[in-house]
Amino acid sequence: MRDLPIRSRGLLGMLATIAPEPVTRARAGELLWPQSSAAHQATSLRQTLATLRKATNNAPFLRVGRTSLTLEMPLLQINLTHSPDLLALHSEPWFILLRSSLTAARQTAILTDGRGREDAAVRSLEDVLEWTVTHQPNNAFGLIRHANDLATNLAPHRALELSDRALKAGSPSHPLRGWASFLRAWALFYCNETAAASEALHQVRLSAMQQQQGELLALCSFFEAGCLMYLGELNLAEALWRPAARLDPGVLRARGHVRMVHSLGLIAGCRGHYESGFAQLVQAAELARTHGEPFEEAYVAVNLAWMAASVGHDETARWALERFVAADTGASWRFRLTSDLARIHLACGEGRPGTGLILGHSALATCEANRALGFEIYVRESLARCHLQLGDETSAHAELRHAQECRAMNQWVVVPWDRDRLARAGG
């Protein structure tokens, strides 16, 4: 089928990669014509289907529904490969965007290791992003947009390097450029450049709001609020969600709504308002499940587990941790660290500080591998609780002193939630 037009090949490639699952018409339009309106995407898809039918004797291998498209697997033999040579051969924009789709990346991971985990997909995405930034920098913007969950599972210093290169080489007027700017700001956040990240996220958020890019607005608001929470600006963190709350739900989309409720729950928790904060986090988890957003559900659940366990709400923490385990797909080093923090505090709550100590030292190694100084603060404060329960006050104070030095380096303020946690660690 090499003689088919690029978009027809793109459609078949997409369906083949995701097969035997169906692809919605809306998703196919987004991937094949990412810069077009929804109406233009629908029209272009109908034209592509007509071309495909004409060229393949009415496309008997394709089942076309009112809302979705599916390959008839018994009529086809699909040979998938993931080599760099294939990327070089199929370098049209549709292929790069296809490889960046979250569903396709997950399918690649399933085919690669048979466990359905996304670790391989994250590594694959890094390779694809490297190739795209070098050869087609404008397509890197779409790559980041479509595979944002996977892109934010890269090591922060690597995400910063790749996003900087994409922004330097890509067009300043590209409509999807904001997604690379977001990834850069996110990377600054996890590279412990909190003030710089906050300013960068603020600028992208303002641009997204002006252009009515609801999902980008929500992601920027979420991490900008995170920066403000660390800097002690809880009122500002809550206030910056007001523009998003006024958006039409269709613009904000389900994922954006989940992030908003998630963030407001965390802000309430940071204020020490645990009952209302936890209720909002449970609501966010339910919203994520209702709308089929497993990444968002895992994100909410693991944050709830950690926050609850750290202040002695162990029953809530266990429920949230079970929810996280059921939703997690295994790719996020951030999720892994956060779940470790929850388990450390649960171990202490259950009178097993030695187990918490083992988990904490393993978590420190993950922090070091990802250069995650911010997480190191929380891990060391958690280790202090373990040492204190074991009767080793000297080691507990040493961990707290190290954490305080890291806090000063990051200019992080101690909020009510921090005080409640630290009280359990002798701080």
Which of the given ranges, 120-124, 207-211, 263-267, has the highest pLDDT on average?
Answer: 263-267
Q: Give exposure, 57-73, as e/b (b: 16+ Cβ within 10 Å).
A: eebeebeeeeeebbbee
- The set of residues, in sequence order, having a beta carbon less than 8 Å from that of 34 and lying 6+ positions away, is 97, 142, 145, 146, 176
**pLDDT surpassing 50 at residue 41:** yes
Specify the DSSP element, H or E, that contains 187: helix 177-190
Query: Could you tell me which residue, 286 or 1, shows the higher pLDDT?
Result: 286
Sign of CA dihedral 262, 265, 271, 272: negative
Residue 89 has pLDDT above 50, yes or no: no
Concatenating the DSSP letter of every residue in 245-276 gives: HTS-HHHHHHHHHHHHHHHHHHHHHHTT-HHH
Identify the structural domains of the chain with CATH numbers, from first to last. Answer: 6-75 (1.10.10), 92-171 (no CATH), 332-427 (1.25.40)
Both tokens assigned to 311: 């202040």
Q: What H or E segment, with its residue span, contains residue 92?
A: none
Q: How far apart are CA 339 and CA 320, in angstroms?
A: 10
This prediction has a pTM of 0.76
CA distance between the termini of the chain? 67
117 — pLDDT class (breaks 50, 70, 90): low
- CB 272: neighbour CB atoms within 10 A? 14
State how far the Cα of 175 lies from the Cα of 36, in Å rounded to an integer: 10
State residue 109's pLDDT score: 46
Q: Are 364 and 376 in contact (CB under 8 A)?
A: yes
pLDDT number for residue 140: 87
Q: How confident is the model at residue 61 (pLDDT cuts 50, 70, 90)?
A: confident
Name the strand (E) or helix (H) holding 71: strand 68-71
Mean pLDDT taken over the chain: 85
pLDDT at 93: 45
Helix (H, G, I), strand (E, B) or coil at 70: strand
Taking phi over 0 as left and psi of -120 to 50 as alpha, with beta for the rest, 77 belongs to: beta
pLDDT in tens, 135-187: 888 888 888 887 788 888 898 999 999 999 999 999 999 988 999 999 999 99
Average pLDDT over residues 25-47: 84
Residue 340 has pLDDT above 70, yes or no: yes
CA 31/CA 95 separation, integer angstroms: 9
Strand 62-64 to strand 68-71: parallel, antiparallel, or no bridges (unpaired)?
antiparallel
- The secondary element (H helix, E strand) that includes residue 297 is helix 294-310
Give mean pLDDT, residues 364-376.
Answer: 88
Distance in angstroms (rounded) separating the CA atoms of residues 427 and 423: 5
